[in-house]
């Protein structure tokens, strides 16, 4: 799925006030975390994930891996956090055209 820059900006504005749903630690992206991210995306569509300092992986790489494994779209990587979006079957978030 592709999103436009206008849609990405809209999703970033929605994610600005969100608290991280998950934290990725030193064990990186385990299957349990991927399963949890998948469930969170199914329930919320838009999630923020925090990467702890003891995780030595590159944050942008983690974001891309998580997006690929959950069939989501990476929205933003900022600092040690990233945002993922995946529309539900009945979307709650209406993206601008």
CA separation, residue 24 to residues 38, 76, 96 (Å): 14, 16, 31
Q: Which domain holds residue 42?
A: 5-85
Q: What angle do CA 28, 34, 35 make, to 5 degrees?
A: 140
With respect to residue 35, please indicate whether it lies within any of the assigned structural domains. Answer: yes
With respect to residue 97, please indicate whether it lies within any of the assigned structural domains. Answer: no
How confident is the model at residue 2, as a pLDDT?
84
With respect to residue 28, please indicate whether it lies within any of the assigned structural domains. Answer: yes
What's the predicted TM-score (pTM) here?
0.92
How confident is the model at residue 87, as a pLDDT?
93
With respect to residue 96, please indicate whether it lies within any of the assigned structural domains. Answer: no
Q: Tell whether the model's pLDDT for residue 91 goes beyond 90.
A: no
pLDDT, one tens digit per residue, over 48-77 is 999 999 998 999 999 999 999 999 999 999
With respect to residue 9, please indicate whether it lies within any of the assigned structural domains. Answer: yes
With respect to residue 63, please indicate whether it lies within any of the assigned structural domains. Answer: yes
Number of structural domains (the chain) is 1
pLDDT, one tens digit per residue, over 14-54 is 999 999 999 999 988 999 999 999 999 999 999 999 999 99
How confident is the model at residue 1, as a pLDDT?
75
What is the number of alpha carbons within 13 Å of residue 7 lying toward its C-beta? 17
Bridge partners (DSSP) listed for residue 73? 85
Q: Tell whether the model's pLDDT for residue 8 goes beyond 80.
A: yes
Q: Do 88 and 45 meet the contact criterion of CB atoms below 8 Å apart?
A: yes
Which CATH number belongs to the domain containing residue 16 in this structure?
3.30.110.60
């Amino acid at each position: 799925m592709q999103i436009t820059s206008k849609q990405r900006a809209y999703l970033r504005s929605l994610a600005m006030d969100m608290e991280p749903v998950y934290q990725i630690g030193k064990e990186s992206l385990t299957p349990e975390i991927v399963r949890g991210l998948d469930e969170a995306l199914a329930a919320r569509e838009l999630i923020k994930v925090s990467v702890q300092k003891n995780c030595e992986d590159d944050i942008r790489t983690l974001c891309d891996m998580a997006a690929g494994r959950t069939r989501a779209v990476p929205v933003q990587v900022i600092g040690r956090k990233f945002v993922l979006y995946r529309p539900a079957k009945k979307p709650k978030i209406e993206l601008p055209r």
